Chain A
C-alpha cells in the first residue's frame, strides 16, 4: 500500500473551532473538550489542532513545526532550514506519553527568519519564500514533513483520537485567540502523522470534513498556478485555493468563499443586475475552483476564522456566538459542551460562510 501522501484517502470527520474576536487568548483545554464531545465522529486514526497567538515572544518569526521519521531526516531537514533561515530557537516540541498514542515521529519546532541574502537573491516576498521552502522541504527531504510554518501560530496533529493528541501535546499549556480542531475517520488505516488535519500553508490552516468530488478539476486548476498537490488530500486543495485567492490574488475572503461555494445559477438569475454580473463573472472565471461534493471546513488565519459548508449542505455545521466568542462545530453538542448558554446559535445555510474577524480588521 502506498503511503498516504501518494494515495488519496477519503475520510469522514468532526471539526470544531473557537475564536475570541477581541484577541483575548484562552487555553487549549476548551477546544479539546469540544472535539472530544464528538468522539463518535472519529475513529482514532487522526486528530489535530491549529492554534493562533501562541508564540507572542516570537511573533515576527516563522514558526516551523516539523515531523521527522528519523535522525538522518532531522539532520537533512535542519541542514535545509539552516541554509535558508536564521534560526532563533530550535528544539523538540514538548510532548507527554499517552497510552493510546504510538509510533510518533520526531517532532521539532524552529523559530526562524529568512536569510537576507537568500531573500534578495530570490527576489521573493518573505511569505512566498517560505512557501517555496516548505514545498521543497516536503518534496526533496526524505522523511521530513512541515506541519506548519506560519507566524505566531502552529499546528499539532497526529494519529489518534483528537483529545488524546491534545493531551499528547499538552495543549492546555498554550493559549491562543483562535483554536480549531479535527477528528478524523479515514476509510483505511494510513497511520501517517502528516496525513492528519489541519493542513497548513503559512498562517493558513484548514480542517475539513468531507470529500471533494471536484478534486480532479480543482487540482488541475491549481497546477496552472504552480501549486503541486503532493499530499493527495482534498484538504490541501482547499488550503491552496484560499492561498491563491486571498494571498496571491488579494481577493476579499468572502469573495473567495463565494467562489468555492457559489449560489446556484437559477438563484443568480433572480438577483439584481449588479449582483448577477458579479456572481456570473465569479462562476465563469473560477468555475474549476468550485468545491463540489460534501464538505464543512474551518479555515483559520492570523486575522480570523471562517466556516463554510458546501452549497447544498451535505455536511453538518453549527455556529454560535457569545460576546466576543465565535464557535463553529460539526455538531451543536460540541459547542454547548464549552459554551452552555450562547447568545445565538444557528445552522449556517448551505454555502453561506460564517466569518469571524479580529476587531478592527476588514474582511
Chain B
C-alpha cells in the first residue's frame, strides 16, 4: 500500500556548510540521514524525521534546519491538515493512534491567565538576597491539632512525612518508558536537591536502591516490580489510580522497550508488552482503595506516607475528598496536559480537565469539609516554570510534580515520539547505544541547575509579595488575579479579576 501521508517535516541541508562528516548519520536513530555512495554526499529522507533536533544540535557546521512541511491542503477550517493526516494514518494501519508527551492542543492554559501580586508601600517587599526566605515543605497527614502537657511539652506523635527543601518533585516516569540513565539523573538530582523523584510504575532497578531516601515508589494496576524490598526501599509510596495524559486507562509500555534489565526490574518476560489494566482489579470502589492504602502501610510498618495519584476528571473534588477519608496522606492530581511515555492520542487530547481548575476545586472542597489541613495536595500536569508553581500553590497545592520540564532539562526536544523507543537523546529509549548518550552526571547537573534557578525565582516572587515562607502562599488566592476569564472561571478558581 502506498502511503498517502506526506512527510511532517523537511530537513534543509545547506550544501555550502555541509562537510559530509556524517555526524548526523550517526546521531539519527530514525535513519533520516545517509551517505549516498554514488556521489559521496550526505542526504536525508524527510519522511523519517521526527524533529527531535539531535542532528541540528550536533552538526558542527550548523548546516541543518528542520522545518514544518509547508505543503498545505485546500484551506478548510474543519478538515485541518492534522485531521486529514490522522484519518490517512488510521486507514493505513487500522490501529489506535499512539503518541507520547502531553496534550498539545490549544486549550486555555489557565496559568497564563493568572497574574501575581506584589507589595507596594503598605507592606514592604522582602529581599531574598538579604533576608531568609523559606521553601521547606512537609508532605503527609497532619492532625487537627497538637496536644501539649502542662509544661508545654509536645504529646502528639506525628505520622511519617516527606520533607522537601522546595515544593517540587520529579513526577512518575517508569524505568522502561525512560532509560536507566534518565532514572539515575532524576534520583541523583533529587538527592542533591533534598527533594523526591517518583519511580513510576516500572519498579526500581537494583542500582537505584541507594537513592531510596529520595524515592517515591509507585504501585500501579499492573503491579510491575512491586515486592517488599521495593516498597521498603522508598521514602514514600504512591498508588497510581490514573494519569493526566490518559485518565481511565493503564500504563502502556511497548514490548520493544522491554529489554532484559527492564524485564527483570518489572518482573515480566523480556519483549512482552507491559500493559497495565485500566482499573486496579482490587479497587472497584473507594473502600477498596482504603484497603490497598492500609495494605501498603502494613507492608512497610507505618513508616512511610502513602500518596494516591489520580487524573483530573469531572468529579475530581468529590473523589479527592473520598481519597482523603480513605486514609491517603498525600493526594496527587494530574491535569490533562500531563505527559506520558505512550498514550492513545484520542484519549490524551480529549479526556480530563485542566490542573488549574482541578486543584482549585479540590482545595476548596476539602476546605469546606474541614479536612484540607489533614492531607497534602500535589499538583501535576504541565508545570512549565517557577511562576506556574507559585500559581499552583496559591490555588491550594502543597507542592508540584514536574516531569516534562525535567525531561526538557536533560535533552528532550518534545518530538512526542517516546512510544517508539528511538529517542535520540537517550531518554525514552532502551537501546544501549542511545541510552549511553545521556550521562547521568550531566543529567543530574542540568536538573539541579533547573530547580535551583526556579527556587531563586520563587523566592524572588514570594519576597515581592511580602511573604517569607512558602506556607503563607498556600491557598492564598488573594495573591492571584485573573485576566481575560469569565466570571464562572474566576469563581471556580476562587479568585478576583485584575482590578478588583
Contacts and interface: CB of A to CB of B under 8 A. Distances in A.
Nearest to B364: A220
Interface in A10-36: 10-12
Interface string B365-403: 001101111000000000000000000001010000000
Interface stretch (A46-54, A93-101, A288-296, A335-343): A288-296
B467 A293 contact: yes
A282 B207 CA distance: 38
A216 B476 contact: yes
A145 to B, nearest CB: 24
Contact of A293 (B123, B145, B371, B396): B123
A284 B161 CA distance: 9
Interface in A245-278: 249, 251-252, 254-255, 264-266, 277-278
B349 interface: no
Nearest to B119: A213
A216 B469 contact: no
Interface stretch (A66-74, A126-134, A175-183, A221-229): A221-229
A293 B469 CA distance: 10
Interface in B434-489: 465-469, 471-479
A35 B490 CA distance: 43
Nearest to B151: A252
B146 A282 contact: yes
A252 B148 contact: yes
B77 interface: no
Nearest to B371: A224
B270 interface: no
B465 A213 contact: yes
A249 B373 CA distance: 15
Contacts of B477: 216, 220
A281 B372 contact: no
A235 B178 CA distance: 52
Given A211-B123, A215-B476, A293-B123, A285 B466 contact: no
B145 A292 contact: no
A286 B370 CA distance: 14
Interface string A202-243: 000000001101111100110111100000000000000000
Contact of B466 (A213, A221, A251, A266): A213
B124 A254 contact: no
A350 to B, nearest CB: 11
Contacts of A226: 370
Given A284-B161, A290-B471, A294-B466, A216 B479 contact: yes
Given A285-B146, A294-B124, A217 B154 contact: no
Given A290-B471, A292-B466, A281 B154 contact: yes
Contact of A281 (B156, B394, B465, B478): B156
Interface stretch (B136-144, B235-243, B329-337): B136-144
A292 B472 contact: yes
B478 A215 contact: yes
B60 interface: no
B370 A225 contact: yes
A155 B37 CA distance: 96
Contacts of A255: 148, 152
A213 B126 CA distance: 11
A208 to B, nearest CB: 13
Given A216-B477, A217-B475, A265-B136, A249 B469 contact: no
B269 interface: no
A252 B281 CA distance: 49
A213 B123 contact: yes
B134 interface: yes
A295 B372 CA distance: 27
B466 A217 contact: no
A238 B143 CA distance: 21
A292 B465 CA distance: 10
A107 interface: no
Contacts of A292: 466-469, 472
A264 B158 CA distance: 20
B145 A249 contact: yes
B150 to A, nearest CB: 8
A277 B484 CA distance: 46
Contact of B367 (A223, A287, A314): A223
A187 interface: yes
Given A217-B476, A225-B370, A252-B152, A281 B134 contact: no
Interface in B140-173: 142-143, 145-146, 148, 152-154, 156, 158, 161
B132 interface: yes
A224 B471 contact: no
Contacts of A210: 123
Interface in A80-108: none
Given A224-B370, A225-B370, A292-B468, A12 B122 contact: yes
A41 interface: no
A314 B121 CA distance: 12
B143 to A, nearest CB: 6
Q: Counting chain B CB atoms within 10 Å of each CB, which of A217, A286, A288 scores highest?
A: A217
Contacts of A312: 126, 131-132, 468
A286 to B, nearest CB: 8
A360 to B, nearest CB: 16
Given A213-B467, A292-B467, A10 B123 contact: yes
A294 B152 contact: no
A216 B495 CA distance: 11
A287 B136 CA distance: 11
Closest 3 CB pairs of A and B: A287-B471, A216-B478, A216-B476
5 contacts: A11-B122, A217-B475, A286-B146, A290-B472, A312-B126
Interface of B: 119, 122-124, 126, 131-132, 134, 136, 138, 142-143, 145-146, 148, 152-154, 156, 158, 161, 363, 367-368, 370-373, 394, 396, 465-469, 471-479
Interface of A: 10-12, 187, 210-211, 213-217, 220-221, 223-226, 249, 251-252, 254-255, 264-266, 277-278, 281-288, 290, 292-294, 311-312, 314
Given A220-B396, A224-B371, A224-B373, 20 more contacts: A187-B122, A211-B466, A216-B479, A217-B472, A217-B474, A220-B475, A223-B368, A225-B370, A249-B145, A251-B146, A264-B132, A264-B134, A265-B136, A277-B154, A281-B146, A282-B146, A286-B146, A290-B471, A293-B472, A314-B124
